[in-house]
């Protein structure tokens, strides 16, 4: 973490300037690609008050009103929307924004199987490379690319059917940019229980997400080095490789995604009936 981050207002201003000079023009096209440094990485500085949203907004609009600038400002706006939610709903990290989710049939965390699955998720050993890469990046640096955060959160809440609050607390403990607004609202968005939430039927396929946003597998190779020698066509589904890595090298999948998706959709349908 010391190698990845330098705290302070001066560092925040330098990071903002470098982003505006070097990455802003390609932000709209590359912001979802975790292997490429195309995001501002200002979130830790925002979380600790080392730079303000107004400073960032002013500096970005000073570069004109291109599509890239507008997209970046829209993402900054999402952060402020989260703080508006927190202002009006102070228990955002503890309570479902949509009360019908109070009846959602999350998997019980008392069983050994559930506890093992959550631990595999935390340690980046789910058997799904894009999820594992993100969780290992988080553990090593205190940060995770935003696209991968959504994939990892969807995997926990929908593939594993684990209560979003468990993931929210883990991110709160491990993210260098964790704040009470964005963390809680982001988790509720993915889980489907939040304001302007993702549709209940949106269950990210970790293989397809990896193939779309890390097509060459560079991000996975960096954080899951035991898969580094796999070709791009199988690196996001190593079980399909001509010579799959043995379980003592890389773990087997903790769930079958297709079956987990069907289970999640069934659980969501019970919520719709209550609503």
pLDDT digits (tens, 9 = 90+) for 163-209: 999 999 999 999 999 999 999 999 999 999 999 877 777 899 999 99
Provide the number of structural domains found in the chain: 2
Q: In the chain, which residue ranges form alpha helices assigned H by DSSP?
A: 9-18, 27-30, 43-47, 53-61, 67-88, 112-123, 129-141, 146-154, 164-174, 182-191, 206-213, 218-223, 257-274
- What pLDDT score does 275 carry? 45
- What pLDDT score does 200 carry? 73
Q: Both 15 and 100 in a single domain?
A: no
Q: Both 80 and 179 in a single domain?
A: no
Q: Is residue 38 part of a domain?
A: yes
With beta carbons less than 8 A apart as the criterion, state whether 27 and 38 touch: yes
User: Tell me: the pLDDT tens digits for 117-173?
Assistant: 999 999 999 999 999 999 999 999 999 999 999 999 999 999 999 999 999 999 999
Average pLDDT of the residues of the chain: 94
Report d(CA 154, CA 5) in Å as an integer: 27
Global model pTM greater than 0.75? yes
Q: Both 106 and 71 in a single domain?
A: no
Find the angle CA(12)-CA(13)-CA(18) to the nearest 5 degrees: 100
Domain boundary among 48, 72, 88: 88
Read off the CATH number of the domain in which 64 is found. Answer: 1.25.40.80
36: tokens are 């490429």
CB atoms within 10 A of CB 229: 11
- What pLDDT score does 272 carry? 67
Q: Is residue 4 part of a domain?
A: no
Q: Is residue 82 part of a domain?
A: yes
Q: Both 202 and 228 in a single domain?
A: yes
- The whole domain housing 128 covers 91-275
| 124 phi-psi bin (left φ>0, alpha ψ -120 to 50, beta other) | left
Query: What positions carry a catalytic annotation?
Result: 75, 78, 106, 146, 164, 187
Q: Is residue 3 part of a domain?
A: no
How far is Cα of residue 144 from the mean position of the Cα atoms in its chain? 7
With beta carbons less than 8 A apart as the criterion, state whether 145 and 177 touch: no
Q: Both 40 and 100 in a single domain?
A: no
Domain boundary among 41, 62, 88: 88
With beta carbons less than 8 A apart as the criterion, state whether 238 and 230 touch: yes
94: helix, strand or coil: coil
Report the pLDDT averaged over residues 241-257. Answer: 96
Q: Both 55 and 98 in a single domain?
A: no
Q: Give the model's confidence band at 42: pLDDT under 50 very low, under 70 low, under 90 confident, else very high.
A: very high
Report d(CA 81, CA 95) in Å as an integer: 18
Read off the CATH number of the domain in which 243 is found. Answer: 1.10.579.10
Report d(CA 230, CA 228) in Å as an integer: 6
Report d(CA 173, CA 275) in Å as an integer: 33
């Amino acid at each position: 973490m010391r190698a990845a981050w330098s705290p302070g207002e001066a560092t925040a201003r330098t990071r903002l300037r470098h982003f505006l000079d070097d990455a802003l023009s390609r932000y709209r096209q590359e912001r979802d690609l975790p292997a490429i440094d195309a995001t501002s990485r200002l979130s830790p500085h925002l979380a600790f008050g080392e730079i303000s949203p107004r400073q960032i907004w002013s500096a970005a609009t000073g570069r004109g009103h291109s599509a890239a600038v507008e997209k970046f400002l829209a993402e900054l706006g999402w952060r402020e929307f989260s703080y508006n939610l927190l202002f009006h709903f102070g228990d955002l990290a503890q309570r479902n924004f949509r009360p019908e989710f109070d009846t959602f049939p999350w998997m019980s965390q008392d069983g050994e199987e559930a506890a093992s699955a959550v631990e595999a998720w935390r340690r980046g050993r789910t058997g799904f490379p894009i999820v594992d890469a993100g969780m290992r990046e988080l553990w090593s640096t205190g940060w995770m690319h935003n696209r991968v955060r959504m994939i990892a959160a969807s995997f926990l809440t929908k593939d594993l059917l684990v209560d979003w609050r468990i993931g929210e607390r883990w991110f709160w403990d491990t993210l260098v940019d964790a704040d009470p607004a964005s963390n809680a609202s982001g988790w509720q968005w993915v889980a489907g229980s939040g304001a302007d939430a993702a549709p209940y039927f949106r269950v990210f396929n970790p293989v397809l997400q990896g193939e779309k946003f890390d097509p060459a597998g560079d991000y996975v190779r960096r954080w899951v080095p035991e898969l580094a020698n796999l070709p791009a066509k199988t690196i996001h589904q190593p079980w399909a490789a001509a010579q799959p890595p043995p379980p003592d090298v890389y773990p087997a999948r903790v769930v079958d995604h297709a079956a987990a998706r069907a289970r999640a959709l069934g659980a969501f349908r019970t919520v719709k009936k209550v609503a």
